[in-house]
Amino acid sequence: MVKKSLRVEGMTCAMCAKTIEKTFEAMPDIKAEAIVSANKVIMTYDEQHYSLESIAKTIKSLGYTPILKDYLEDNKKIRMAMKVELIVSIVLSLPLLWAMFSHIQLTSFIKAPALFTNGIFQLVVAGLIQFGIGRRFFKGAFVSIQKKSLGMDILVVLGTTSAYLYSLYLLIEYYRTQSTMHPVYYFEVSALIITMVLIGNFIEHIAKEKTEDALVDLINLGAKEARVLRDGEEMMITIEDVVVGDQVVVLANEKIPVDGKIIAGQSHIDESMITGESMPVYKKENDFAVGGTINLQEKIMIEATNLGEDALLNQIIASVEEASARKIPIQRTADKIASVFVPGVVIIALVNFFVHLVALGDGFTYSFTTTIAILVISCPCALGLATPTSILVGNGLAAKHQILYKGGEFFEIANKITAIAFDKTGTITHGKFEITDFVGEEEYLDIIYSIEKESTHPISKAVSEYAKEHGAKAVTISNFEAIKGKGLRAMIGTQKVLIGSAKIIDDFEIDINGYQDIYNQLQEEAKTVNFLVIDCEIKALYALRDEIKDTSKQAIAELKKRGITTYLVSGDNKGVTERIAYEVGVDHMCCEVLPTEKAEIVEEIQKQNHITAFVGDGINDAPALKQADIGIAMGQGTDIAIHSSDLTLMSGDLRLVIEAIDLSKATLKNIHQNFLWAFSYNLVAIPLAASGHLSMALAGAAMAFSSIMVVLNALRLKRFQFRYTKGDTK
């Protein structure tokens, strides 16, 4: 099964999404998730049975416009087509509007030419709008009836067709009876309602584009072309033509076009678009380079490895799109309301008609016009757009600040979090050992370096780097041996050398002599201490520590200030864990924890009536990330941790947890504002229409305005202020 996103134009409300999703529900090995606010459908399907082209054909048969080519280019064409259609509709509506004002006879200046008030002329002009420009509403209504998902198109078709047919009836009666009284037609209502809806759709289309700005920015981060080496010659080709294994040449100050391994050259690379870190990263041969980052200094050559959907940038874009498609509980509730809303409105309209006509005796014309106004003004577009537009803007904004939401659920749960548990290594700390203390003669550093460089242990790597930085030189060793869990052993000439922890001292019963006090002090500072022993005598010791990130203390303090209980859960020993817990200020700590036990600890916290988040980065954190109500993975961690989480922080800055929570709260508040508007609008508008205070044409304008208001309110989220991070501005 593969997952691909398809641009689809013409979706205007939740019922449009439901129509598309229901169509594919009836087909095996395929699933559709429609995002109305982004004009996208995310398809999960079996490539052996379906292709993107066949899927697009099915969507097109429903009355929507799928886009398979370049989105930005096709979007310009679609906007131009919408603009032309709108202009034609406005031009054709103007004579009918003039005739309507002429009937009101406010001034002699408004008096329309005789042609404009002629019934046959109005029939033809309104017919061009009703059945020409408005044909898509009829097609949409037909499909929605077939799929049993009644939406906006039904209301527009019922309203406009009723006005058109009633006017046609008046016209036929006028010529049949040869009446001397010129009737007042309602052709302009049919035309104006469609024109108003088109105006609303066009403005909404532009507003939706703005909600996607962050996604478009992400797409634009990718390179369009690559310089590849083929048959010994460099040539520029489109990024789509690059294949795995191609040798890609990247000059200084150029954007790296693809993910791949550096096979020649070395340079500093600006990876801020991925990590948020402003400091360039030094990369050499065999290091991995990410497409979309900037090569700052020297020419390098990359072997392309991850292309298309496998590229990191495309995975980030797909993650944002997928998160926008997932429906949170409040959206599912809105969809249920919308599904019964249209039938409910039709019933209200019919009741209104008979109450005015029979009970109140208001006459057919008044009863008819108020009924049409109810049908037109009650479109549930605003209700359907309330949640997805806000989530799309929130997701896009978060992605620019190195925060990737996996699903919309986070927006509803985040403001309920009462406890957060943190892994230690790589989450609270940097996840990398550094030498903090060296006690002994400098000559012993050569011996330590010579033995440690033979090991691949993380501590040995840290020691080797420290020794090289301090000018250590290798000496000849023999009989090298790693003593599992304790240290290293070797011979230098006739000397027996041991390097390792206090366990080696205990095993070989070596007198610690004058090193006891310094050893105790370093242990209290939560440092790992290793000894150098030559011929059963301690000659030196060094201490290492995985240092706490500068931002960890601030993040923990801010969370505690908000009343969130904090936990440190680590597999490290009690002394180190206690010290780290004390320094960062967490409320509770658990040490010497096995990977399976981390999930059990999270479960225990949940049993204390806490909505619990877990933050981690390693394979051993995956069970806890799954168990937690919200799993938060550090982006520099393992793939399994990221895939097990609900939220990924692309930067190692723990303050992003706070940013993510604050943004989710702002997004949820925005959603509630949208719902308040959508419901309030209908509560006020339907009675106004029923009482005759809204004309049919004005009802069409009000309906379009309601959807635009929801989208514009969602766009207000772009003003959200991030306290600790700056978004990517490339």
680-720 residue pLDDT tens: 877 888 888 888 887 665 665 676 677 778 878 888 888 88
CA gap 200, 193 in Å, rounded: 11
pLDDT tens sequence across 577-601: 888 899 999 999 998 776 668 888 9
Per-residue pLDDT band at 570 (split at 50, 70, 90): confident
pLDDT tens sequence across 466-482: 898 888 888 999 998 88
Per-residue pLDDT band at 506 (split at 50, 70, 90): confident
For position 420, what pLDDT does the model report? 95
For position 469, what pLDDT does the model report? 87
For position 332, what pLDDT does the model report? 62
Per-residue pLDDT band at 102 (split at 50, 70, 90): low
Handedness of CA 665, 666, 669, 671 (dihedral sign): negative
Per-residue pLDDT band at 421 (split at 50, 70, 90): very high
Q: Which residues lie closer than 8 Å to 687 by C-beta, 6 or more apart?
A: none
Residue 730 pLDDT > 50: no
Higher pLDDT, 411 or 245: 245
As a three-state string, the secondary structure of 431-491 is EEEEEEEEECCCHHHHHHHHHHCCCCCHHHHHHHHHHHHCCCCCCCCEEEEEECCCEEEEE
Give the count of alpha carbons within 13 A of 544, CB side only: 21
For position 106, what pLDDT does the model report? 46
pLDDT tens sequence across 225-269: 889 988 888 888 888 888 888 889 998 888 888 889 999 988 888
Match domain 225-309 to its CATH number in 2.70.150.10, 3.40.640.10, 3.90.1150.10, 3.40.228.10: 2.70.150.10
Residue 447, CA distances (Å) to 21, 457, 485 in order: 68, 17, 21
- How many residues are there in the chain? 730
Per-residue pLDDT band at 414 (split at 50, 70, 90): confident
Contact between 692 and 370 (Cβ < 8 Å): yes
571-576, long-range: CB < 8 A, 24+ apart: 571/595, 571/620, 572/424, 572/425, 575/523, 575/524, 575/526, 576/526, 576/528
**What's the average model confidence in pLDDT over 389-408?**
77
**What's the average model confidence in pLDDT over 607-616?**
91
Which segment, 137-151, 197-211, 259-273, is predicted with the most confidence on average?
259-273
Mean model confidence pLDDT for the chain: 80
Higher pLDDT, 54 or 155: 54
Provide φ and ψ at 547, rounded to 5°: -70, 150
For position 96, what pLDDT does the model report? 82
Element (H, E) at 269: strand 267-270
Nearest-10 Cα torsion for 448, 453, 458, 459: 0
pLDDT tens sequence across 7-29: 787 776 667 777 888 888 888 88
Residue closest to 341 by CA, chosen among 705, 612, 681: 681
Question: β-strands 300-306, 247-250: how paired?
Answer: antiparallel
For position 429, what pLDDT does the model report? 86
Handedness of CA 376, 378, 381, 382 (dihedral sign): positive
| Amino acid residing at 410 | F
User: How far, rounded to the nearest angstrom, does the alpha carbon of residue 172 sit from its chain's CA centroid?
Assistant: 56
Q: Which residues lie closer than 8 Å to 3 by C-beta, 6 or more apart?
A: 42, 43, 44, 318, 322
DSSP codes, 521-570: HHHHTT-EEEEEEETTEEEEEEEEEEEEPTTHHHHHHHHHHTT-EEEEE-
Residue 276 pLDDT > 50: no
Residue 271 pLDDT > 80: no
Residue 153 pLDDT > 80: no
Handedness of CA 189, 194, 196, 197 (dihedral sign): positive
**What's the average model confidence in pLDDT over 604-621?**
84
For position 542, what pLDDT does the model report? 92
For position 729, what pLDDT does the model report? 39
Q: Which fold has domain 430-546?
A: Calcium-transporting ATPase, cytoplasmic domain N (3.40.1110)
DSSP codes, 169-200: HHHHHHHHHT-SSPP---HHHHHHHHHHHHHH
CA gap 409, 394 in Å, rounded: 13
**What's the average model confidence in pLDDT over 444-462?**
86
For position 272, what pLDDT does the model report? 63
Contact between 453 and 465 (Cβ < 8 Å): no
Handedness of CA 330, 331, 336, 341 (dihedral sign): positive
Predicted TM-score (pTM) of this structure: 0.62
Domain residues of the chain, as ranges? 2-75, 225-309, 404-429+549-655, 430-546
- Tokens found for residue 129: 């709008």
Nearest-10 Cα torsion for 73, 79, 83, 84: 50
For position 554, what pLDDT does the model report? 92
Instruction: Give strand pairing partners of 247.
Output: 229, 303
For position 561, what pLDDT does the model report? 93
User: How far, rounded to the nearest angstrom, does the alpha carbon of residue 467 sit from its chain's CA centroid?
Assistant: 45
Residue closest to 35 by CA, chosen among 46, 47, 43, 23: 43
**What's the average model confidence in pLDDT over 610-635?**
81
**What's the average model confidence in pLDDT over 554-560?**
93
Per-residue pLDDT band at 140 (split at 50, 70, 90): confident
Q: Which residues lie closer than 8 Å to 46 by C-beta, 6 or more apart?
A: 1, 2, 29, 30
Per-residue pLDDT band at 607 (split at 50, 70, 90): very high
- Tokens found for residue 697: 């044409």
For position 595, what pLDDT does the model report? 64
Give the count of alpha carbons within 13 A of 567, CB side only: 24
Residue 184 pLDDT > 80: no
DSSP codes, 385-417: HHHHHHHHHHHHHHHHTTEEES-THHHHHGGG-
Q: Express as a percent the part of the chain with pLDDT over 70.
A: 82
Q: Which residues lie closer than 8 Å to 594 by C-beta, 6 or more apart?
A: 571
Q: Which residues lie closer than 8 Å to 24 by C-beta, 6 or more apart?
A: 30, 31, 32, 43, 58
CA gap 582, 552 in Å, rounded: 12
For position 94, what pLDDT does the model report? 86
**What's the average model confidence in pLDDT over 314-324?**
61
* Weakest-pLDDT range from 63-67, 109-113, 116-120, 262-266: 109-113
Residue closest to 117 by CA, chosen among 137, 131, 97, 90: 97
For position 378, what pLDDT does the model report? 73
Contact between 157 and 141 (Cβ < 8 Å): yes
**What's the average model confidence in pLDDT over 141-149?**
74
Contact between 322 and 38 (Cβ < 8 Å): no
- Tokens found for residue 278: 């402003």
Question: Catalytic residues, which ones?
Answer: 423
Q: Express as a percent the part of the chain with pLDDT over 90.
A: 13
Match domain 404-429+549-655 to its CATH number in 3.40.50.300, 2.60.120.10, 3.30.1330.10, 3.40.50.1000: 3.40.50.1000
DSSP codes, 302-333: EEEEE-GGGSHHHHHHHHHHHHHHSPPHHHHH
Which segment, 171-175, 533-537, 699-703, is predicted with the most confidence on average?
533-537
Residue 209 pLDDT > 80: no
CA gap 556, 418 in Å, rounded: 13
Match domain 2-75 to its CATH number in 3.30.930.10, 3.30.70.100, 3.40.50.2000, 3.30.1300.10: 3.30.70.100
| Amino acid residing at 326 | R
